[in-house]
Amino acid sequence: MTKLARDLLFPLIAVLAAFVVGGILIILVGDNPIDAYRLLLGSALSWPDGIGYTLFHATPLIFTGLAVLVGFRCGLFNIGAEGQLYIAAFATAWVGITFANLTPWLLIPFCFAAAIFTGAFWAAIPGVLKAKFGSHEVINTIMLNFIAVALVSYFTQYHYKVPGDPIMETATIGQGAHIARFGKFVPGFPERIPLNLAFLLALLCCLLVYLFLWRTKWGYEIRATGSNPFAAEYGGISIRKQIVLAMAVSGALAGMVGINDVLGYRYRYYDGFSDNYGFTGIAVALLGRNHPVGVILAALLFAALQHGGIYVDGFSEHVTKDIVQVLQGIIILFVATESFFKWLLGRRPSITRLRA
């Protein structure tokens, strides 16, 4: 089997198997899985809403998928994309509010920088802790998620809320910080659909991440560290530096979710805006086999499901949109348990090389 075929085959099997298991669950609660899946996936293909919203939902997932991917390639597990994107989104809004009167030519780059550097900073913390004290990044990123959420909630509640507003959200950002929605330049595409330039930025990031990891010396060093840190060290590579660098890049990517949500969609920071993007990013990276192209495909699949979930909720008798998370969970479980399929196919089980 060629490498490409195998790279495509196993994720495909995992997705199909998840749909089969999900189908059984749907039958158990008394609905027809074919109808449910038609609602779930069919709605994603309609023009303009289905496609527009699917691409809109895919945007944060591409960012977080890339974030997790960069970590994985360095042998790190960044479970903290959720916290990184929260704190970055808040920072983006803060810049958008504080410097509201600047010209867009300055304000937008400032906002971008806020998203990127705040995300990078927040992710660099567990990186430094690992490099310096050897403490496990999985635990620290989980802990920092909660800290980030509490921190931004504090700032929102105590300092940046519009007095009297019952919702936990900041004031709006300046007009100059808005980035264009697709409706502005795609004929016939309604501007109410929040798909915006951040989607193109996400695609650009896929290309940049690919170039960075596979075509630059820094990427080589990160991947070498992830593949075998002892050999990397032998080759004169500072493992500690790579850990911090990879976490920072990872956090920067996660932070760009803030650009999509704050500058392109809500035009303010809204507490609790993330629909589990950080965790879904893990699924996206794994299903996408830790490759930028795979990340795009996996993000589109999950985004389509997310969009379809609303239709399932509205039109199906028993099945709710929760089926989306159920399917996501089963897909990751199957992807993680690749050797299960090898075992089913009668091969010898071996360690799944997820972090390779």
Partner 1 sequence: MRDIFTLSLIASTIRLATPLVLAALGGLFSERSGVINIALEGKMLAGAFTAAAVTYAADKSLHMGNASPWLGLLAGMIAGLFIAAIYAVSCIKFKADQVVSGAAINILMLGIPGFLSGAFFLSSGSTPQLPKDHLLPQSPVIIAVTVALLVAAIWYVVYKTPFGLRLRSVGENPEAADAAGVRVSAIRYSGVLLAGVLAGMGGAYLSIGQSSLFTRNMTAGRGFIALAALIFGKWRPVQTLLACLLFGFTEAVSIQMQGAVKLPSGEDIPVQFIQMVPYVLTIVVLAGFIGSSRPPRALGIPYQKEK
Partner 2 sequence: MLELRQITKRFGDVLANDQVNIVVKPGTIHAIVGENGAGKSTAMRIAYGFYTADSGEILVDGQVRDIKSPHDAIALGIGMVHQHFMLVETMTVAENIVLGAEPGNNLALDLKSAASQIRQLSEEFKLAVNPNEPIEHLSVGQQQRVELLKALYRHARLLILDEPTAVLTPLEVEEFFAILRRMREQGKTVIIITHKLSEVLAISDEVTVMRDGKVVGRVQTKDTNAAELARLMVGREVLLRVEKPEAKVGRAELEIKNLSVTNINGAKRVNDVSFEVRSGEIVGIAGVEGNGQTELIEALAGLTDPARITGEINFEGKRLNQMGARVRRELGIAHIPEDRHRRGLLLDFSLAENSILGVHYRPPIAAFVDNIFLDENAIQRRAGEIIQRFDVRPPNAALPARALSGGNQQKLIIGREYHVNPKLLLVSQPTRGVDIGAIEFIHRQLVSLRDDGCAILLVSAELEEVTSLSDRLLIIHEGRIAGEVDPKVATLEEIGLLMTRGH
Q: Is 36 in the site for partner 1 (CB under 8 A)?
A: no
What are the tokens at 121? 């900073």
Q: Please, what is the minimum distance in Å from the beta carbon of residue 212 to partner 2?
A: 9
Asked if residue 356 binds partner 2 (CB under 8 A), the reply is yes
Preceding amide of 48 cis, omega within 30: yes
Q: Is 347 in the site for partner 2 (CB under 8 A)?
A: no
Does residue 293 interact with partner 2 by CB under 8 A?
Answer: no
Shortest Cβ 234–partner 2 spacing (Å): 5
- Per the listing, tokens 């199957």 go with 334
Work out how close the CB of 238 gets to partner 2 at its nearest, in angstroms, rounded to a whole number: 7
Backbone angles phi and psi of 27, in degrees to 5 = -60, -40
Residue carrying the six token digits 């915006």: 196
Q: Assess 175 for contact with partner 2 (CB under 8 A).
A: no
238 binds partner 2 (CB under 8 A): yes
Least distance to partner 2 from the beta carbon of 79, Å? 23
Determine the interface stretch with partner 2 among 85-93, 154-162, 219-227, 251-259 (rule: CB under 8 A). 219-227
Position 221 contacts partner 2 (CB under 8 A) = yes
Pick the stretch among 132-140, 170-178, 183-191, 247-255 that binds partner 1 (CB under 8 A).
132-140
Q: How far is the CB of 215 from partner 2 (least distance, A)?
A: 6
CA distances from 293 to 197, 257, 263 (A): 19, 18, 25
Distance in Å, CB of 13 to partner 1, minimum: 14
Q: Which of 7, 35, 49, 233 is in the footprint of partner 2 by CB under 8 A?
A: 233
Among 32, 98, 153, 227, binds partner 2 (CB under 8 A): 227
CA pair distance 116, 123, nearest whole angstrom: 11
CA 279, CA 281: separation in Å to the nearest integer? 5
Other CB atoms within a 10 A radius of the CB of residue 32 amount to: 14
The yes or no reply on residue 151 touching partner 1 (CB under 8 A) is yes
Contact between 252 and 120 under an 8 Å Cβ cutoff? The reply is yes
At a CB cut-off of 8 Å and minimum separation 6, what does 153 contact?
168, 271
Among 236, 345, 346, 351, binds partner 2 (CB under 8 A): 236
Distance CA 89, CA 262 (A): 7
The nearest distance, CB 246 to partner 2, in angstroms, is: 16
Between 80 and 219, CB nearer to partner 2: 219
DSSP letter at 181 equals: B
Contacting residue, 6, 106, 157, 191, with partner 1 by CB under 8 A: 157
DSSP 99-116: TTTS-HHHHHHHHHHHHH
Q: Quote the least distance from Cβ 233 to partner 2, whole Å.
A: 6
Site string for partner 1, 312-331 (x = CB under 8 A): ------xxxxxxxxxxxxxx
Q: Are 148 and 84 in contact (CB under 8 A)?
A: yes
Provide DSSP, 40-99. HHHGGGSTTHHHHHHHHHHHHHHHHHHHHHHHHHTT---TTHHHHHHHHHHHHHHHHHHT
Binding site for partner 1 (CB under 8 A): 25, 29-31, 77, 79, 129, 132-133, 135-136, 138-140, 142-144, 146-147, 150-151, 153-154, 157-158, 276, 279-280, 282-283, 286, 318-333, 335-340, 343, 349-352, 354-355
